[in-house]
Amino acid sequence: MDAAEWSWALPSVTREFEGVALIGIKGVVVVLLRFIGALAVIGGCVGLGMYYAAKESYRANELLEFKKALLILSSEIEYLRSPLAVACQNIAKRTSSVVGNLFSTFAESLTIGEGETAYRLWVSAAETVKEASYMHNEDWDIIEGFGKTLGYLDKNMQQNAIDYAINYIDEKATELHLQGGKNKRMYRSLGVIGGLLVTVVLW
């Protein structure tokens, strides 16, 4: 092939090489994006599994915080003989999260509430804060039921109601502790397996 033919063929060959190179770069980009997407899916599923595993720990912490509130209330009733609104304000200052908000809301309701029973105000306060809680409905049934004793019963009956709620919390906390390790491993494993399955299907 003489020089004239080479000069004519060279642009065509160059375009072919550029096309091959472009296809190769696109392929690498596609594989890279898929790999990043797979990591994101797996990471998201693992994170979701860890979140569900942590929920039971958060629930146990809130139950123990409510137990702390009940012990403070018991002291307020037994030794300080504080009015209910004052006792609840003191509890709110010494507890955190949902439990602190519950007693704070209830104390405010007692201060401004007119014509409402303490029980109705207690249930209303519980309904206000429970959406931000990790506790289950069965936990809130005990908490709301405890409100039936507020403001009506004598000291001994009030203490019995506190003891009943504390016994429930102790039993439930022990149960959550025993199940916690198993549930954490299960949720994390399900997160990993779920992420891998989704990645395989989408790949």
CA 100 from chain center: how many Å? 17
pLDDT in tens, the chain (203 residues): 544 444 444 455 455 544 445 556 666 666 677 767 667 766 776 676 666 667 788 899 999 999 999 999 988 877 767 788 899 999 999 998 899 999 999 999 998 876 788 899 999 999 999 999 999 999 999 999 998 888 665 777 888 888 999 999 999 988 887 776 666 666 667 666 766 676 666 66
d(CA 143, CA 98): 12
Q: What is the pLDDT of residue 159?
A: 85
Amino acid 100: pLDDT: 95
Task: Say what the pLDDT of residue 187 is.
Answer: 64
Instruction: Report residue 105 CA to chain centroid gap.
Output: 22
Spell out the domain ranges in the chain.
3-202
Q: Which of 104, 75, 101, 99 is nearest to 88 (CA)?
A: 104
DSSP 137-200: HHHHHHHHHHGGGTTTS-HHHHHHHHHHHHHHHHHHHHHHHHHHHHHHHHHHHHHHHHHHHHHH
Q: For 146-163, b where at least 16 C-beta lie within 10 A, e where not — what string?
A: bbebbbeeeeeebbebbe
Residue with tokens 């890279």: 32
